[in-house]
């Protein structure tokens, strides 16, 4: 099983990238191959119907489309911006939706989020489900939201809290099981 992973934040010290890394570790320990990409590789010009009419989807969009096509599932960590998903990530999805048929159809996604507050970004993930599911992605029902991300990681980048580690491990097992069955 091959997973594509990225964290939808451009900030170098992104808490969501730290969270992605513990998720990738869990996935690998449980037998998945995971390819992580920097979000900057998936940031494209603003969607513009005239640009698309003139020159089709940008080369980077087509490349991401190929990566999605080739994977079995996506690990996607995304910060909550203003009770919803980041505009940058939505623009990436808007471009991917222009590839016909959309490579997202039939792929399995696991969504993760963290924030410095107590809610952990979960409201943003609920909004992120909508375009992904609208495009035919199987978005895993369970989502991993980590509160107080600023205090959650130790120096080696691991989750300090044993209960949170176990919750992630278990959610990952459920997700990988669903992906495996879908591939069979």
The binding site for a copy of itself (CB under 8 A) comprises 9-14, 43, 46-51, 81-94, 97, 118-119, 122-123, 126-127, 129-131, 133-139, 141-142, 147, 178, 181-182, 184
Minimum distance between the CB of residue 100 and a copy of itself, rounded to whole angstroms? 13
Closer by beta carbon to a copy of itself, 44 or else 153: 44
**Alpha-carbon span 71 to 78, nearest angstrom:** 19
Of 12, 3, 8, 16, nearest to 113 by C-alpha is 16
Closer by beta carbon to a copy of itself, 118 or else 156: 118
Closer by beta carbon to a copy of itself, 25 or else 91: 91
Closer by beta carbon to a copy of itself, 1 or else 25: 1
Minimum distance between the CB of residue 59 and a copy of itself, rounded to whole angstroms? 18
Minimum distance between the CB of residue 41 and a copy of itself, rounded to whole angstroms? 13
**Alpha-carbon span 43 to 39, nearest angstrom:** 7
Closer by beta carbon to a copy of itself, 75 or else 93: 93
Output b/e per residue, 91-109; b: 16+ Cβ within 10 A. Answer: bbbebbbbbeebbbeebbb
| Strands 73-77 and 138-139, sheet pairing | unpaired
Tokens for 138, please give them: 């199987």
Minimum distance between the CB of residue 81 and a copy of itself, rounded to whole angstroms? 5
Minimum distance between the CB of residue 113 and a copy of itself, rounded to whole angstroms? 13
- DSSP-derived letter for residue 82 is T
Minimum distance between the CB of residue 104 and a copy of itself, rounded to whole angstroms? 9
How far separated are the first and last CA of the chain, in Å rounded?
11
Contact call for residues 128 and 93 (beta carbons, < 8 A):
no
Closer by beta carbon to a copy of itself, 25 or else 60: 60
């Amino acid at each position: 099983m091959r997973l594509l992973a990225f964290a939808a934040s451009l900030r170098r010290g992104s808490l969501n990238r730290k969270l992605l890394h513990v998720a990738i570790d869990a996935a690998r320990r449980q037998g998945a191959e995971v390819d992580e990409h920097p979000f900057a590789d998936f940031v494209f010009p603003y969607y513009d119907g005239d640009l698309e009419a003139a020159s089709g989807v940008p080369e980077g969009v087509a490349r991401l489309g190929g990566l999605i096509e080739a994977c079995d599932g996506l690990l996607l960590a995304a910060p909550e911006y203003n009770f919803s998903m980041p505009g940058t990530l939505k623009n990436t999805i808007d471009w991917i939706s222009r590839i016909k048929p959309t490579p997202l159809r039939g792929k399995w996604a696991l969504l993760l989020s963290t924030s410095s507050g107590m809610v952990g970004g979960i409201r943003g993930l609920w909004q992120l489900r909508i375009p992904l599911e609208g495009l035919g992605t199987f978005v895993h029902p369970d989502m991993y939201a980590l509160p107080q991300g600023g205090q959650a990681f130790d120096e080696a980048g691991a989750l300090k809290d044993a209960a949170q580690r176990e919750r992630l491990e278990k959610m990952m097992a459920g997700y990988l099981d669903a992906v495996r069955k879908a591939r069979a």
